Amino acid sequence: MTRWLDDEEQRAWRAFMGASQLIHEELDRQLQRDSSMPHTYYVILVKLSEAKDRTLRMSDLATELNSSQSRLSHAVSRLEERGWVRRVPCAADRRVSWAELTDDGFAALTAAAPGHVEAVRRVLFDRIDPEQVKRLAEICAAVLADRVPHPR
């Protein structure tokens, strides 16, 4: 039996979808305009910058991003063309490759970060109060608690 959304759930769902789309589009537009990179590339650079030695196994990076390996591979290829990421084969297992953030990639991320953070503030945090920020974090944590990684 289908558990249809009631009126309140429907309003919440549509508001969530509209807000999510607005935020994603605004962040993507800002990063394209100011740093010539899509939001997806920025997120990859952030994940690598936070990793030990700025390096992650490609499959682990795909899991972190909830992305398929083929989609991630395509994005990493574009980042390699820019000199921002380097793919490094694993010496112990030829089936494994690592993505490594280069110094140029780190510099691109560092240059893009202030404008990106300002856009995040403008599009989200400047519009809600501290109690709403706390509730938003709690809601997102609940949604992500049983996260199932994207199939590889």
Summarize pLDDT for 58-108 with one digit per residue, the tens. Answer: 999 999 998 998 999 999 999 999 999 999 988 777 788 999 999 999 999
* Residue whose C-alpha is closest to residue 109's, from 85, 73, 77: 85
Q: If you average pLDDT over residues 103-121, what whole number do you get?
A: 98
- Sequence letter at residue 64: E
What's the whole-model pTM score?
Answer: 0.89
Residue 146: which pLDDT band, with cuts at 50, 70 and 90?
A: confident
Q: What percentage of the chain exceeds 70 in pLDDT?
A: 97
User: How buried is residue 21: exposed, middle or buried, by Cβ count under 10 Å (0-12/13-18/19+)?
Assistant: exposed
Mean pLDDT check: name the lowest of 15-24, 27-36, 85-94.
85-94
pLDDT at position 49 over 80: yes
Q: State the pLDDT at residue 152.
A: 45
Question: In whole numbers, what is the pLDDT of the chain averaged over residues?
Answer: 94
Instruction: Please provide residue 83's backbone torsions phi and psi, each rounded to the nearest 5 degrees.
Output: 80, 20
Q: State the pLDDT at residue 76.
A: 97
Q: State the pLDDT at residue 60.
A: 94
Residue 150: which pLDDT band, with cuts at 50, 70 and 90?
A: low
Domain extents for the chain? 24-144
Top CATH class of 24-144 equals mainly alpha
Q: State the pLDDT at residue 42.
A: 98
